[in-house]
Structure formats: C-alpha cells, structure tokens
Amino acid sequence: MDYKNDVEALDGLRGKYNLLKEEIKKAIYGQDEIIEQVLISLFSRGHCLLIGVPGLAKTLLVTTIAKTLGLKYNRIQFTPDLMPSDIIGTEILNKDRQFQFIQGPLFANIILADEINRTPPKTQSALLEAMQERAITAAGQRFELDKPFFVLATQNPIEQEGTYPLPEAQLDRFMFSIWLDYPKLDDELTIVKNTTSTMEVSLNPVINGEEIKFYQELIRKIPINDNVLQYAVKLTAKTRPGTKHASEIAGRYLKWGAGPRASQYLVLGAKTNAAIHGKYSPDIEDVKAVASTILRHRIIKNYKAEAENIHVDEIINDLL
C-alpha cells in the first residue's frame, strides 16, 4: 500500500462524498442520515433496502442519487405478475431466424427495485442472484453486468396488503436495511413549500463510474487494527443464540443470529464510515455507526420478543 498516495485518494473520496451529499440535499430535505447510509453502501460495494410507508420519497431519493452519480439507471416497478424474464431479458427470433438475447432492465449501473416485496419469490430471486453474482444466466449463457452495479430496493411494511415478505436468506444479500420515518415538522414544511411552487431543482453529476470503482477498491485497502476487527466479528457472534459467544439478550429474545456476511459488512462499512469522516483507519465507533443498519434484518426475534413487543433496534443497542 502506497500510504502517501492512498491518503491523498482518501482525502479525494471525502471531498467527493461531501459534494454528493450537498447535491442530493438540493432535492431531498431532512434525510441527511439516510443519504449518508446509502452512500456508505455504494462505496462499500453493497446494496440497500429502504423500508417505509408509501409517500416518504423513497423513489425520489433513489432517482436523485442516480442523477448525481452520472451512471446508467433503470427503475423496475415490481408487481405480482412480473416474471424473471421481464427483468433479466429474453431470447427472440430475429429476422435472420437466429435467436437473439434482448437485455432486460437489470443491465444498468443503478437499479431501483421499486416495491420489491410486491412480486413473487421467483422474480425476487432473479434480482437477488444478480446482486450476489453481478452476472446473470439466460438461455444457457452467462452475462456479466456492468460495474459498478448497485441495487436500491424499496419495500413497503410487510403488514400491508399484497406483499410477499423477503426470505431471510435473500435479505442477507442487502448490506443495509434502512428505515425511513415521517419527516420532522420543519422539514415537512420545507418539502411542501418547495414542491407546491414553481421552483425547479437542477442536479449535476458529481462522480462517474470509473471513480466509484476506484474508491470501492480503495476502501478495501484501508488498514484495520486487530482489536477493531475482533470487535466486529465478536459483535456478530453475540447475536447467535445457543452458541459459545452468545450474549444474554440474544439467548432471551433471538431465534436466529447474523451470519459471517454481517461481519464482512461491519468491517467494510466501518472502513467507509471512517474514510468519509476524515479518518485513515476505522475504530470501534465506526463499527457501531453502521451496526444497526447491517444487523437489523439479519437477526430474527423469537416468540418471547414478539410477545413483549421488543424492537429489534433495542436488542442491537443492548449488544453494542
């Protein structure tokens, strides 16, 4: 690792992050923390799941971010009748009587999977396979997807009608699970004022695909102290009831804990969080900063937790 050059590059990453954040805030009000988490996921080469009731600007957030990144962007509206071929692509017989593969909307850099839980598991699986492999298989052929490849999926609360809950194994493919809540009153006043007038927001691309790929590789080169690495791995191990390292609260309220992918994402997320805040190596506070969004969709509460109405974030806060 060329320390001097990489330090300069990390300073450049922080500068780009600040520019991105300011550009996005032109159109998105009062969601600074959400914007930060989405960008951390992007630079960590992860994917994001945004959960919230309809009308909280989940789709607007994703389209705004796409415009500032200067990448090819496709939106897929998930519906109950959507088939895997509708997103992957399909073969057609062309005028020369040869089969020709027509690429689906997955062939882009940024995918907005809108209302992912409104489509059946078969189509969900097609998307989640692409997220993991960054490639798809169609008609016996493997097609590499463009890089960077970043999926932002929105999900309505599973209590709503017409939803198909994502299985735990598929949820694990998402680095972050981000919950959007109703805006504060002052922020809502600003939103209503600006969106009911003639004011128009012009967004400019701040970063390109090659720069994003460079920074994604740079994040992985950031050194991490053994004590921070051990903290991240032990934190994940504490969520696993019935195991040697399980915490008391995990044994009391959890049915399943997080797997090794959580440990990997805790380290990558901590590295990125450190980099965008001007640090050249992550510490335990950086792990804690990303822990809730990484763990909340990977730990499964038991009946006792449900009966006592224990929130998953309460369990995570106790673990921290």
Domains, the chain, in order of start with CATH, read 3-196+205-210 (3.40.50.300), 222-319 (1.10.8.80)
Residue 2 has pLDDT above 70, yes or no: no
The backbone torsions φ and ψ at residue 178, rounded to the nearest 5 degrees and listed phi first, read -110, 125
Q: How far is CA 285 from CA 185, 271, 273, 282, in A?
A: 30, 11, 10, 8
Cβ atoms of residues 70 and 148 within 8 Å: no
Please check the confidence at residue 158 and state whether its pLDDT lies above 60. no
In a 10 Å sphere around its CB, with 0-12 CB exposed, 13-18 middle and 19+ buried, how is residue 187 labelled? middle
- Token readout for 160 is 């709503």
Contact 269/290 with Cβ under 8 angstroms? Answer: yes
User: Higher-confidence residue: 201 or 269?
Assistant: 269
Phi-psi region of 242 (alpha: psi -120 to 50; beta: other; left: phi over 0): left
Q: What is the pLDDT of residue 302?
A: 85
Is the pLDDT score of 183 beyond 90? no
**Lowest mean per-residue pLDDT among 2-11, 41-50, 104-113, 273-282:** 2-11
Is 299 a residue whose pLDDT tops 80? yes
Q: Is the predicted pLDDT of residue 161 greater than 80, yes or no?
A: no
Confidence band, pLDDT 50/70/90 cuts, at residue 186: confident
Average pLDDT over residues 119-130: 82
pLDDT for 294 equals 93
Find out whether 21 and 226 touch, Cβ atoms under 8 Å. Answer: no
Which pLDDT band holds residue 128 (cuts at 50, 70, 90)?
confident
Structure-block tokens of residue 297: 């969709």
Q: Which of 271, 269, 274, 245 is nearest to 257 (CA)?
A: 245
Summarize pLDDT for 259-277 with one digit per residue, the tens.
899 999 999 999 999 999 9
- The number of beta carbons lying within 10 Å of the beta carbon of residue 92 is 10
**Do 124 and 166 contact (CB within 8 A), yes or no?**
yes
Tokens matching residue 156: 């309505």
How much is the average pLDDT of 181-186?
80
Does this model's pTM top 0.85? yes
Higher pLDDT, residue 280 or 193? 280
Residue in 266, 241, 269, 245 with CA at minimum distance from that of residue 253: 241
Q: Tell me the HSE value of 266 on the side-chain side, using a 13 A CA sphere.
A: 27
pLDDT band at 58 (very low <50, low <70, confident <90, very high): confident
Give the three-state DSSP class for 248. helix
pLDDT (tens digit, 9 = 90+) per residue, 130-143? 888 888 887 777 88
CB atoms within 10 A of CB 68: 21
Is residue 236 predicted with pLDDT exceeding 60? Answer: yes
What average pLDDT is seen over the chain? 85
pLDDT value of residue 1: 46
